[in-house]
Every structure is written in structure tokens, then in C-alpha cells.
Amino acid sequence: MSLVRVASSRRVWMMVGLVFLLAATLFVSLPQPSQAAGSYCETTFYSDATHTTIVGERIKTCSGSVFTSGTTSAYKVTACEPCG
């Protein structure tokens, strides 16, 4: 196999990989259906992965207003229900 073909093949696979990573990033960034507009959501934030100590809360109302108290963290549980 010539060096030109090898280099071309590598470029193709690199492009395929980049397209896959971009698609995966966009998919993960999409809002969850339960958190879409038209939902009332309550999020509880915890101090760690054991979810025993609450450190904050966030409420998103049906009108779109957001109220947050305490602090936020990566350890959270969100519950939503449709409005109306």
C-alpha cells in the first residue's frame, strides 16, 4: 500500500472519529424530555453521591421562572411533571 493511500485512509478515519464525537456531544447536550418546556421541575442537590445531605434546591415553574436556594452540586435528582 502506498504512503499516499495510508495517509488518506488515516485522514478519513480521523474525520469519522471527529464527526462521531461531535454527534455524541450534541446528543448529550440535548435537554431531557422531562425537562423540556411545559414542565414543572424540582431539583434537589446533595453534598455527595450518597444523597443523604441536601445542600440546595431548584424549582422551575410552568411559566419558566426558576427559583434556587442553597447551593448546587453535581449530585442531583430532578423530578418533573407536565404543566396543565
Same domain, 2 and 37: no
What digits encode the pLDDT tens for the residues 18-75? 666 666 665 555 555 545 558 999 999 999 999 999 999 999 999 999 999 999 999 9
Same domain, 17 and 43: no
Using DSSP, state whether 4 is helix, strand or coil.
helix
Tell me the torsion sign for CA atoms 74, 77, 82, 84.
negative
Q: Give CA torsion, residues 28, 41, 59, 53, to 10 deg.
A: -80
Domain with 40, as residue range(s), is 32-84
Same domain, 24 and 46: no
Tell me the torsion sign for CA atoms 30, 34, 37, 40.
negative
Residue 11's pLDDT is: 80
Residue 31's pLDDT is: 55
Same domain, 75 and 59: yes
- Domain count along the chain: 2
The pTM assigned to this predicted structure is 0.56
Which set of grid coordinates corresponds to residue 74?
Answer: 453535581
